[in-house]
Structure 1
């Protein structure tokens, strides 16, 4: 096992210390720092940036071929961490003999340590990992906001007002599809210089807002939660497959919701995120795709096709078919 002790709590200091211990170089562009993991340890990189408003963005991506531990040992108040795991897993604790908590793929966590403790990250061996963190220097953040923290809900106040680090926080849950989309946008953004810095600053705040929205939603009873979790997205896939197989006699959205045990609102969220339109639009498009296939086969007349795709009105079918394909179904059929 190789343990790397780190005194710094902000991106520049953390990566500078690691670069020295790794005996590798550290690159910098407009205050965004990046270092490549040495081949003796594995492959990948660590990069990050801090902004004047107290918000920071940090990413760990790669694979270690031996046991590696990062031990953040500063006695100063560490930033409030909003952690999300895209791939792999990580063991977190705040002291060597403290509780070890595993954060794995599709999970997020809000983490704060006591001021006299730090953070310990234990990385997996020979397992690809990809972690993103939004980190909040609560003192700097408080100085940059133009409202009183006392005016925000108490469950948020407890997180952001603790500038002295008197309260430990570890809150883990599954992160949302919307958050996953934002992280993907951060990863895939390929501009540089000022454009990149501004983009990262905006996306860090967007990710923070989504994490806070999810945290607030998690505090509600299950039947009152409105945000689709990543873990629930598999149900959306199941619903999609069910619709594809039952177009002729598909139930109402309310009935489908009850059948699969996922609220109508969350089903709509899933279809909007995956297909950029509603469930009803998805069903209509699938019916039209099937109708086009049956017209191409030329073995059924239009009335038979209308029945097979689950519609009762031939005129309505003609209307939506022409809207999508710019030709009437009767004209299309006669051209075959």
Structure 2
């Protein structure tokens, strides 16, 4: 049981991998406010144990998402038991670091921020996560259910392919892979956190992004295996964090006239490091990233505002209407004018 006044590391043991049972146990230990909407469980904590949020959701495909966004007031260990057919767990650390070990083994692995991890277990073996007092941790765990029943497995093609790829028909073993740094996943997790919709739309958007994050994690593993040696690039943790902050600035103010020199000065990164970070995080250059955000914002304004095309063009930071029309048509396969006319026709017929 979690004891906030103890000076030794505290332990919480979870006896079930089912999200509902897991959150009932977490709520019993941490107190806090537990809310359940559809199949999404959210535990908000703001007490002597710490502050933050733990979220979990299960999809029909047999895939679950578990997220920790917390800062605990004590060191503690979370022990989670597994079943006869342990799941395959894909982890991503967005902030801080988490230490993992198997059962009572002393050998520990550290998952740092911006790193991916893939975890398999022996049957009935425990996963042990070690959290450090006062450290803000943000970690996402995508849990893929496994089974020895081939008829059930083939009903969920994605699970079947993942199980086949990582277990290769053999019994699950204790294994943890710590991957290269990957900022694209951080970007997708931010999109996951930003979802405001409710009901079935929310569930579908979360599930879609979870599948996309899972694809990025599997691709990262594939790339690392091909490269044999993990390619962490030349960027440090601080530099990776600086790239994320620059990305947020551009996302919040795409209409500003950002220059590479200004962004480099703001971030403390050289132009080369900044471009390297954007290639890593977004798969594109800084300029192309800014341009893409402006076009997306322009599309939204054309659809929802009364501004004419010229007003839209200048409000999102473009200086040439003809250039804007060209790249808008490349993205949406119609001109801004045609798009606005279609929106007006739909509005009149509604």
Q: TM-score, normalised by structure 1?
A: 0.65
1:243 CA drift (Å): 6.9
Which residue does 2:283 correspond to in 1? 269
* Pairs within 5 Å for 1:213-252: 213-221=219-227, 234=239, 244=261
Superposition RMSD in Å: 4.2
Q: Does 1:107 align with 2:121?
A: no
Which residue does 1:288 correspond to in 2? none
> 2:280 and 2:108 mapped to 1: Cα distance?
33
Equivalent in 47, 51, 71 of residue 39 of structure 1: 47
1:107 CA drift (Å): 1.1
Q: Does 1:174 align with 2:180?
A: yes
Structure 2: runs of 5 or more not aligned: 1-8, 244-257, 263-270, 293-318, 326-350
> 1:273 and 1:168 mapped to 2: Cα distance?
44
Q: Does 1:145 align with 2:185?
A: no
> 1:104 and 1:169 mapped to 2: Cα distance?
17
Equivalent in 84, 87, 101 of residue 95 of structure 2: 87
Note if contact 2:27-2:34 (Cα within 8 Å) is conserved in structure 1.
yes
The 1:161–1:197 alpha-carbon spacing in structure 2 relative to 1, beyond 3 Å, is farther
Please give the secondary structure, in 2, of the residue aligned with 1:167.
coil
> 1:322 and 1:25 mapped to 2: Cα distance?
51
1:7 CA drift (Å): 0.4
Which residue does 1:159 correspond to in 2? 166
Higher Cα Rg, which structure:
1
1:174 CA drift (Å): 2.9
> 1:148 and 1:33 mapped to 2: Cα distance?
23
Which residue does 1:66 correspond to in 2? 74
The 1:321–1:146 alpha-carbon spacing in structure 2 relative to 1, beyond 3 Å, is closer
Which residue does 2:331 correspond to in 1? none
Please give the secondary structure, in 2, of the residue aligned with 1:174.
strand
Equivalent in 2, 12, 25 of residue 4 of structure 1: 12
> 1:86 and 1:111 mapped to 2: Cα distance?
17
1:176 CA drift (Å): 2.2
The 1:273–1:191 alpha-carbon spacing in structure 2 relative to 1, beyond 3 Å, is farther
> 2:141 and 2:281 mapped to 1: Cα distance?
28
Note if contact 1:228-1:270 (Cα within 8 Å) is conserved in structure 2.
no
The 1:229–1:147 alpha-carbon spacing in structure 2 relative to 1, beyond 3 Å, is farther
Which residue does 1:22 correspond to in 2? 30
Please give the secondary structure, in 1, of the residue aligned with 2:285.
helix
Note if contact 1:22-1:38 (Cα within 8 Å) is conserved in structure 2.
no
Q: TM-score, normalised by structure 2?
A: 0.63
Note if contact 1:174-1:229 (Cα within 8 Å) is conserved in structure 2.
no
> 1:3 and 1:10 mapped to 2: Cα distance?
19
1:21 CA drift (Å): 2.3
> 2:100 and 2:229 mapped to 1: Cα distance?
31
Note if contact 1:3-1:68 (Cα within 8 Å) is conserved in structure 2.
yes
Please give the secondary structure, in 2, of the residue aligned with 1:219.
helix
